[in-house]
Structure 1
Amino acid sequence: MIVEGTVLRGPEFEPIEGRVVYEDGRIEAIEEASTTSDRIVAPAFVNAHTHIGDSIAKEAGRGLTLEELVAPPDGLKHRLLRESDRDEMVAAIRRSVEFMRSGGVTGFLDFREGGADGVSVLREAADGLPVDAFAMGRDELAALEVGDGYGASGAADDDFARERDAAREVGKPFGIHAGENRTDDIVPALDLEPDYLVHMVNASAEHLDRVEKQEVPVVVCPRANLVTNVGLPPIEDLVERTSVALGTDNVMLNSPSMFREMEFAAKFTDLDAPEVLRMATRAGAEIAGIDAGTIEEGREARLLVLDGDSDNLSGVRDPVRAVVRRAGVADVLNVIHPAQHN
């Protein structure tokens, strides 16, 4: 299989004119060659943090605080989740997965409420779709057994030592919220030696130094943080110290669009476009444990193909900057996932 156009090649997303050759779900070659194609070929996205069960409550809770919206066990989202019919939940989640797919996502990590049953809901919702749904189970150890990892709510809610030990024992990742709207849960979270942290909005210099020392990746969700009025994460400081990935967080509050998340992150920081694109691709892929996120020979063929001659993208001088700051779902021509070709 071949796709031609301007290819964003390698870890630096170097734009070259040419083609990507892929076979059996793997990139076989990246060839520089003259082409008449206006397409832009980029790595597909990995959404590194979602709460996709919230798809049953989009734009609910106007005017509520973060605690009133999402704090377990009685925040609005948790009450709505308990009240939701399983079929309704599956259908709503599937629509969100399909939306992410249409926007260039081939994998996402979901903090999955509802224990083992919540994991099965996600499995059912994503069944047959060419998107990898990584279920970070929570609420009970059984969710870790059937899921892809454990996603802890935060060290202020519990100590999670048992869950951390269990995840380590079975070789699955352990992620935890930290520093979203407080500071006192950051050190206890770091003490657990997590595989990754989520948010870190209120991290101090000392916290950031420890993140660097422990080499803990961080997932940031700036649009959600802005909506819940907890501030904005220190993305530039984090990038100086560790690997930083992008997530869209609660579907209740935000569309799960990586295009919107990248644009927002790019425009409120001084990070260059390749760094932001790396946050939306390679950094998330590393947390998920998939061999993707850059267009290189031997890696999985997870590719996003954009129409460089769309009304939105025609005349673009910098294709990397265009993908990060300008492109959207309407510009997507194709999203390639390895499972489509195996």
Structure 2
Amino acid sequence: MEGRILHGTAFEPVEGRVIVADGQIAGIEEEPVDTDDIVVPAFVNAHTHIGDSIAKDAGEGLGLDELVAPPDGLKHRLLREATYEETVAAMERSLSFMQSSGTAACIEFREGGVEGVRAMAEAAEGLAIESVTLGRDEIAVIEAGDGFGASGARDGEFGRERTATRKADKLFGIHAGERDPDDVNGALDLDPDFLVHMVHTDPIHLDRVADRGVPVVVCPRSNLVTGAGTPDIAQLAEHTTVALGTDNVMLNSPSMFREMEFAAKLSDVSARYVLKMATHHGADIAGLNCGVIEEDRDARLFVLDGDSDNLTGYKNPVRAVVRRAGVGDVREVLLETAD
């Protein structure tokens, strides 16, 4: 892969080619190349609900609780009505779209207990995209998947699940501050590996997040659609590491390009920081060796056509990736890992 390579965690543009061997980046050859293509580390979508791919754009006019609150929000009712085969097929289509648009991995909050975790594994079978699957609804999902994704501190007691994930050395994530700030302290009391949303926070919450070093995943398009508001990304970034997710497929396309553009134009953070949110910040939460183009990282990257009708004439490659590029500009995707 060659072009203007967004190198390292600072995404410094380097002209040349990426050398790949045995699923890892073996080096970067810096030399002039006859192309305007942009080589980008593959995205990590740090918060998804892929299961509701069966009901895209359902629930017009409904609020947050009516749409997604367990156990009887619209999403949960539709999932119960769908067959296992329908759910798996719909998830596979969403994962295929994500893969083709440069996403290397997602952190999935998977409904349906152990069967839901199994369905996600079946949907991802044969694809190069990796799902870090955090199950819900029963404690057995921790052994079956990659950890536990809690709905929120107001929805139940999750101390047992947190203890189990810690013993198993697996991830524990939890929604917090989506409707209001009332569940943030309860979520932080569980000492989670990461929080999701944090739209509504008080100064004490931000101080606790900073003190504990708990990263936050924001999903601004979803928050806007559900009427929750939008997160103050700049304020969160002052206190902790912030990653980016697309949330429910029912509500939004799982396109990290759309999420990045929205986040960049919504908030007072740089395009470079938004690209960090979409790549190595999410990878760090998930414990993945990707999201950065540098030696000894997994070879998960993609190439944008710098001469597409959309991108031709770009001056700042990082801003072009974050604020302008789209799925149609993706020329090539490489998603490899070391054996």
TM-score after normalising by structure 2: 0.99
Per the alignment, residue 304 of structure 1 pairs with 302
Distance (Å, rounded) in 1 between the aligned partners of 2:179 and 2:22: 45
Q: Is the CA contact (8 Å cut-off) linking 2:24 and 2:299 kept in structure 1?
A: yes
- Which of the residues 220, 236, 240 maps onto 2:238? 240
Per the alignment, residue 121 of structure 2 pairs with 123
Per the alignment, residue 174 of structure 2 pairs with 176
Per the alignment, residue 325 of structure 1 pairs with 323
Deviations 1:70-101 (A, max 9, x none): 11111100000000011111110000001111
Per the alignment, residue 156 of structure 1 pairs with 154
Per the alignment, residue 39 of structure 1 pairs with 37
Q: Is the CA contact (8 Å cut-off) linking 2:5 and 2:38 kept in structure 1?
A: yes
Please state how far the C-alpha of 1:37 moved relative to its aligned partner: 2.0
Deviations 1:104-139 (A, max 9, x none): 101001100000000000011110100001110110
Please state how far the C-alpha of 1:283 moved relative to its aligned partner: 0.4
Note the residue ranges of structure 2 that are not aligned, 5 or more in a row.
Answer: none
Query: Which residue identity is paired with 1:148?
Result: D
Query: Which residue identity is paired with 2:321?
Result: V
Q: In structure 1, the residue corresponding to 2:182 is in which secondary structure?
A: coil
Distance (Å, rounded) in 1 between the aligned partners of 2:62 and 2:312: 41
- Which of the residues 188, 191, 194 maps onto 2:192? 194
Please state how far the C-alpha of 1:307 moved relative to its aligned partner: 0.4
The 5 Å alignment of 1:194-213 reads 194-213=192-211
Distance (Å, rounded) in 1 between the aligned partners of 2:261 and 2:324: 7
Distance (Å, rounded) in 2 between the aligned partners of 1:298 and 1:125: 29
Q: In structure 2, the residue corresponding to 1:322 is in which secondary structure?
A: helix
Per the alignment, residue 286 of structure 1 pairs with 284
The 5 Å alignment of 1:87-106 reads 87-106=85-104
Per the alignment, residue 217 of structure 2 pairs with 219
Which runs of at least 4 in structure 1 moved beyond 4 Å after TM superposition?
A: none
Per the alignment, residue 274 of structure 1 pairs with 272
Distance (Å, rounded) in 2 between the aligned partners of 1:177 and 1:238: 15
Note the residue ranges of structure 1 that are not aligned, 5 or more in a row.
Answer: none
Distance (Å, rounded) in 1 between the aligned partners of 2:127 and 2:206: 38
Please state how far the C-alpha of 1:260 moved relative to its aligned partner: 0.3
Q: In structure 2, the residue corresponding to 1:141 is in which secondary structure?
A: coil
Distance (Å, rounded) in 2 between the aligned partners of 1:270 and 1:323: 17
Deviations 1:268-294 (A, max 9, x none): 112111100000000000011011111
Q: Is the CA contact (8 Å cut-off) linking 2:233 and 2:268 kept in structure 1?
A: no
Q: Percent identity?
A: 63
CA RMSD of aligned residues (A): 0.9
Q: In structure 1, the residue corresponding to 2:229 is in which secondary structure?
A: coil
Please state how far the C-alpha of 1:38 moved relative to its aligned partner: 2.3
Q: In structure 2, the residue corresponding to 1:184 is in which secondary structure?
A: helix
Per the alignment, residue 332 of structure 2 pairs with 334
Distance (Å, rounded) in 1 between the aligned partners of 2:313 and 2:47: 33
Q: In structure 2, the residue corresponding to 1:67 is in which secondary structure?
A: helix
Distance (Å, rounded) in 2 between the aligned partners of 1:114 and 1:53: 9
Distance (Å, rounded) in 2 between the aligned partners of 1:212 and 1:31: 39
TM-score after normalising by structure 1: 0.98
Distance (Å, rounded) in 1 between the aligned partners of 2:154 and 2:230: 20
Query: Which residue identity is paired with 1:189?
Result: A
Please state how far the C-alpha of 1:234 moved relative to its aligned partner: 1.3
Q: In structure 1, the residue corresponding to 2:154 is in which secondary structure?
A: coil
Q: Is the CA contact (8 Å cut-off) linking 2:232 and 2:267 kept in structure 1?
A: no
Per the alignment, residue 81 of structure 2 pairs with 83
Distance (Å, rounded) in 1 between the aligned partners of 2:201 and 2:291: 27
Please state how far the C-alpha of 1:149 moved relative to its aligned partner: 1.0
Please state how far the C-alpha of 1:30 moved relative to its aligned partner: 1.1
